[in-house]
Structure 1
Amino acid sequence: MSGRIPQDGSRSKLLTILSFLLLTSLAFFLVPSRTSTSLWPKDSAPLVVRDIPVAGCLNDEIELDYPREKGCILILGRNEDEDELKSSLLSFESMFNARYKYPYCLLSDTPFKASFLASLRTVLHEGAVIHTGLVTHEQGWGMPDWMDKEEARRKMKAMGKSGVQYGEKESYHNMCRFYTGPFANHPLLAGFDWYWRLEPSVKFFCKLTYDPFRFLAQNNKLYGFNIAVIENINTIPTLFPTISEYRNDLIKKGEIQPTDFWKMFEADGWGNHGWGEPAGKDGKPGYNTCHFWTNFEIGNLNFLRGKQYQDLFEHLDRKKGFYHERWGDAPIRSLALALFSNFTQTHFFEDIAYVHDTWMHCPLRDGIGCECECKDKGPAIGEDAWYSCLARWKEINALHV
């Protein structure tokens, strides 16, 4: 290359090019970024599930400027739940949705009264969108047509006498079955990709200054939880063997590959991680009964609508365990995630403080969550509590760090 100084014409062109490059560089540094790097701290790795989305509080004016995901707040309730639902909504609005304004989807097996909906609106943000719908037999509510209903009711009555929690309540069995499979295909949810399940009589104790839907979507995740506990084994005596057999068949066919996510739910001794259920007939570990508690869950509807998940639901439905036992949506959802997704696609929302009945989650580490007010609200589930599965979660998570 020649070392001569360029002539005037060439020099002018060179100066123009250099000026353009300088202005471009300045714009890069001065214009606010529209990517998640402007939201997540530098020491936070969004793809590592043990990390929270943000530390402390954000100025969520930046986050509020982004478009919303196709998400809804899903509520299954009845007119008689009015006071309990208003309490939940008042807390949820103040901590999150008064600012993010996601629509509400209300489902019930009986029509909502106009007075009920008007009452709910008194605690919602102005202009709140409420979609309502019925859950009918055709949409998966109640026993399937092929089931012997009298036999099922005899089984439920026997469960009630033997002390199985909610064993005799047919409506509870209906709810568990509906939330396991059919709900994702309800027409009211057809236009949504995400749902956040909200129950009556819950409270939130940390302000949310980011969008959990957006966080999950941007980080290729399918599901979020904040409580992981054990199940009553008398409600699901044959569930784990049934799903394990199904899993083994899928592996033999080459339709899925074994992952370490499954280890989250394998028993490895009494008191270590959930119940120490004995090994199965195949000699493989039994079920520790750990599951993600679905009273709080944020999930991807397209995953639940997918063929793999719906085929599993149909298989389990035919085994009659939703009524002959009291199979719940929480253990099934958890095991299905372990079958059909990667561990890193499920997220622990440590920074969302939440209570329902006597189950309470409060951030375990100092500095986690925004303006949290839960430490004096009651005993939270400790990581080392005998009924908690967070230790197991973190043990598996350590394999991915």
Structure 2
Amino acid sequence: MNNWRVAGKQRLLIVVALGLLTISLLFFLPVNNISSLNNPSSQHDVDVSPPPSTAGKESTYEPVDAPLASFEDDDPVRACFVILVRNRELDGISSTIRQIEARFNKKFQYPYIFLNDDEFTQDFKDTTSSLTTADTRYGKLDDQMWGYPSFINQSLAAHNREEMAKLNIPYAESESYRHMCRFQSGFFFRHPLLDEFDYYWRLEPDVDYYCDLNYDVFKFMRNNNKKYGFNIAFREFGGTVPSLWQTVLDFQRDRPEVVQHWPVREDSLWRFVTDNDGESYNLCHFWTNFEIASLEVWRSNDYLKFFNYLDQTGGFFYERWGDAPVHSIAASMMLRKDEFHFFNDIGYRHTAYTHCPVEPEFRSKCSCDPEKNFGKMII
């Protein structure tokens, strides 16, 4: 089965993007000031029963349109790390956890939620739980979260994969990559292990974190009413999403009662995803392998209706829609500019690309080379 993650041959195709874009985002996504604190430990297995099928109907997941309860700035935050990973990636995720613990979590003790489309081995559980004193929990995905919906024509999907392979589209032939993208777009936040949480930080195997964080990023998000945090943005490979934007426009046309809740375009990041006031998608997206966000965004009735509309078209399987463009387009339309945050102070590497803070004040906190910062390399 093909690897889920972005591979070498995609690198050349993606590099068209974003020094200037990141700088323009910084213009209207100011980096605000910060806060900090601590919490517990153990290991849990959960047997997940299938959620109701979403085929042919609106999702029955209970929406969370109401704002979060009132809080004091120093109150604990219900937050976790979310990790979609396979047993064979144990070494890669162990490396990530060691770095997260050293840079951040040994101070704050947020739990780790491990998810897999197969059963986790005891070796995987023992090894990962030994790397932290925080709580570790393990869940298996069911067929509703990781599988073909009943409305998908699998023969057509297979034919389209073959045609995309002829065009050398990244992950063209991979079924598992498509299941992953659909899961991350519409289901990870519905997993029962996440029910008790309000915020998440998505982690991946074989990535690097370069900077010490002496404040609680989740408290920062909550206390400053930030809903979506990122630190790298790219352009998508256009051959993976040929009909995605038209489907977005169709949704806006067909569901005006949803769109009326969204901020006016001047107050949103609409211009992040379109350069011509909606005529086409410019392929810009936040790189979702790093994502710190409020679960409220994806659990909202508006997003569930949006995802269900996209899902019914079959684009996750007939094309190769990624969770990055889906999350980015939705957030850019649904959230205000001031609800986004650019985590400039979190040095991060995924595959060949690195975000490294270039400002002098970060040099004592970060071990990365600012000359290799992604934005600086492509300006």
Name the CA distance, whole Å, in 1 between partners of 2:332 and 2:165. Answer: 31
Task: Give the aligned residue type for 1:95.
Answer: R
Deviations along 1:91-141, whole A, 9 cap, x unmatched?
A: 1110001111100000001111111111223322x3x21111011113x21
With over 3 angstroms needed to count, the CA separation of the structure-2 counterparts of 1:256 and 1:119, relative to structure 1, is closer
With over 3 angstroms needed to count, the CA separation of the structure-2 counterparts of 1:170 and 1:379, relative to structure 1, is same
What does residue 134 of structure 1 align with? 140
What does residue 207 of structure 1 align with? 212
Identity over aligned pairs, percent = 36
Structure 1 gaps of 5+ residues are 1-47, 269-282, 387-401
Q: 1:237 aligns with which of 221, 239, 242?
A: 242
Q: 1:348 aligns with which of 342, 352, 355?
A: 342
Name the CA distance, whole Å, in 2 between partners of 1:370 and 1:185. Answer: 40
Q: Conserved in 2, the CA contact under 8 Å of 1:251 and 1:257? A: no
List aligned pairs for 1:248-267, cutoff 5 A: 248-250=253-255, 254-260=260-266, 261-267=269-275
Deviation at 1:177, TM superposition (A): 0.2
Kindly name which structure, 1 or 2, has the bigger radius of gyration based on alpha carbons: 1
With over 3 angstroms needed to count, the CA separation of the structure-2 counterparts of 1:371 and 1:255, relative to structure 1, is closer
Name the CA distance, whole Å, in 1 between partners of 2:206 and 2:263. Answer: 40
What does residue 81 of structure 2 align with? 73
What does residue 327 of structure 2 align with? 333
Deviation at 1:383, TM superposition (A): 5.1
Deviation at 1:251, TM superposition (A): 5.1
Name the CA distance, whole Å, in 2 between partners of 1:195 and 1:318. Answer: 27
Q: Which moved more, 1:66-75 or 1:344-353?
A: 66-75
What does residue 53 of structure 1 align with? 33
Deviation at 1:249, TM superposition (A): 4.5
Q: 1:160 aligns with which of 156, 165, 189?
A: 165
Name the CA distance, whole Å, in 2 between partners of 1:247 and 1:157. Answer: 32
Q: Conserved in 1, the CA contact under 8 Å of 2:201 and 2:291? A: yes
Task: Give the aligned residue type for 1:379.
Answer: K
Deviation at 1:370, TM superposition (A): 5.9
Alignment partner of 2:81: what SS? strand
Which of the pair has the greater relative contact order for Cα pairs under 8 Å at 6+ separation?
2
Deviation at 1:385, TM superposition (A): 2.2
Structure 2 gaps of 5+ residues are 1-27, 40-73
With over 3 angstroms needed to count, the CA separation of the structure-2 counterparts of 1:383 and 1:53, relative to structure 1, is farther
Q: Conserved in 2, the CA contact under 8 Å of 1:350 and 1:368? A: no
Q: Conserved in 2, the CA contact under 8 Å of 1:251 and 1:258? A: no
Deviations along 1:287-324, whole A, 9 cap, x unmatched?
A: 21111110000111122011100100000001111011
TM-score for the superposition, normalised by structure 1:
0.74
Name the CA distance, whole Å, in 2 between partners of 1:123 and 1:254. Answer: 47
TM-score for the superposition, normalised by structure 2:
0.78
Q: Which moved more, 1:352-361 or 1:256-265?
A: 256-265
Deviations along 1:330-351, whole A, 9 cap, x unmatched?
A: 1111111122111110110000
Alignment partner of 1:115: what SS? helix
